[in-house]
Structure 1
């Protein structure tokens, strides 16, 4: 955008309380920023950085999904149970996918999901459960099965050091 003449501009924010740690260009009227939290300025010639800032949330971040697990790794009979519960207040979730890096002692997994597809790569020890869409009115997706474990570790080494990643799409309207 190109402006001609000497424009006097004012920018207002819909929620200025979220703006934290602002760094203002010298052309911004500082007292007006402090008093009203608006950017009032006459722009200088050429390109320039008007405003740098951080955004903080007024509410702590709450994830719209909960994962309950029961993973028991034993030499005789290991179990693997997962339940995914949406906390989306009636809105569906799309493209839900769980990825779990299993410990090196896991040699195979035989699991049955109630929704989607599950797979285990015995080379990389990566377990993936592609659930897909979760509708809030339907039963929560569950996964149950058995895990084959080989114990070739020293007793002091942890058997179950897993990392779980959950990817999903959830569309929510912004509330003010």
Structure 2
């Protein structure tokens, strides 16, 4: 499988950067760009456009365009033959993560200011045959220097010897692809952040129809030398569908559910997983919603009550959304406990925002809305988004972290956080 090339479009649909497309005619990428822009112009919403667009090129055979949007930019991966689109999407996501690590905020201006760096990254991450090559950020930084004010000033001044980063004498000096050679820190520390997201659907009778929890173990490593770590959990058995960073030794995890690895330097995702509770079909939703929606001629009334099911922690940054239907013009509501609300006449969505729903507390929102249509048809479901700091749905806990290979004693930090996105039907 191979990728024909990559194109980056700005918010007007014009290409600002593209790979070489050495084995394709010059019109090949233009055909796919025009096909995508045409599909976007015909769609009511950009999210309605299929992420994979298939084309038939006379004399060239069938091909496809895989596209993802990040901010104001759209990334296109072109493919032909029997290449799996998931292969292209995986490369696009990896390349986007690389650009974020190099430049931080991604925008057309940022990429234009750093054309030379972006093209070097394209050359290193995607070879002439269309196969992903070096995608490890630590290895790339030994080859392609990240842009900085200091490196640009030194480059203009003609002082090239001072612009090299790290202590490596040449690229790939480390025998471990994901870790630099000779890393040194004054303070040796490593942090683990366990982030979990609950997605679910609740029926109108209040029972959970579908729910799932997906988690990630983020790590930020600032350890000197080449440490070899062993991370053990106290309750890792319910974790399924696990995927790991290439540094993890899979045999150790299969045998005793321990993570044995030599960590990359800096930030990385150590592990991703799905939480499946034993003996229970669904993960419980940490709140209850009691909606009462009455539809009348040219409008209706809303009366919604939210109650937290948590006993010790608070739900934070809660947002409840309801689409009030085509033709809705205004809404006048009253929210309790200093919560806020607003109605967007463009999207016709009512937003109810609560900074914090304390344990076992109740909040309510009520009021009328009006419409230019006689028989209004609001959405039959609320969308509820929330956060719970210092909490994980799986109750995953780190038991201990052992280090070998180095003599110092590192500082360790662990925390958990959860988010949720729930559809509550009425």
Please, what TM-score do these two structures have when normalized by structure 1?
Answer: 0.66
Q: C-alpha deviations, 1:125-148, integer Å up to 9, x for none? A: 12111222222365x111111121
Greater per-residue helix proportion: 2
Work out the CA distance in 2 between the residues paired with 1:146 and 1:40. 58
Q: 1:3 to 1:87 in 2, by over 3 A?
A: same
Give the structure, 1 or 2, with the largest relative contact order (CA under 8 Å, sep 6 or more).
1
**Structure 2 matches for 1:68-83, cutoff 5 A?**
68-75=290-297, 78-83=300-305
Work out the CA distance in 1 between the residues paired with 2:384 and 2:242. 33
Work out the CA distance in 1 between the residues paired with 2:226 and 2:299. 73
Q: 1:39 to 1:107 in 2, by over 3 A?
A: closer
Q: Which residue of 1 aligns with 2:385?
A: 167
Match of 2:353 among 130, 142, 146: 130
Q: Which residue of 2 aligns with 1:101?
A: 323
1:150 aligned counterpart, secondary structure: strand
Q: Which residue of 1 aligns with 2:238?
A: 18
Question: Are the aligned partners of 1:103 and 1:162 in contact in 2 as well (CA < 8 Å)?
Answer: no
Q: Which residue of 2 aligns with 1:145?
A: 367
Question: Are the aligned partners of 2:324 and 2:377 in contact in 1 as well (CA < 8 Å)?
Answer: no
Match of 1:87 among 309, 316, 322: 309
**Structure 2 matches for 1:108-119, cutoff 5 A?**
108-115=330-337, 116-119=339-342
1:73 aligned counterpart, secondary structure: strand
| Structure 2 gap ranges (5+) | 1-223, 263-269, 398-426
Work out the CA distance in 2 between the residues paired with 1:64 and 1:56. 16
Higher mean C-alpha displacement, 121-130 vs 163-172: 163-172
Work out the CA distance in 1 between the residues paired with 2:314 and 2:250. 46
**Structure 2 matches for 1:26-37, cutoff 5 A?**
36-37=256-257
CA RMSD of aligned residues (A): 3.6
| Structure 1 gap ranges (5+) | 44-50
Q: Which residue of 1 aligns with 2:275?
A: 56
2:296 aligned counterpart, secondary structure: coil
Count of aligned positions: 158
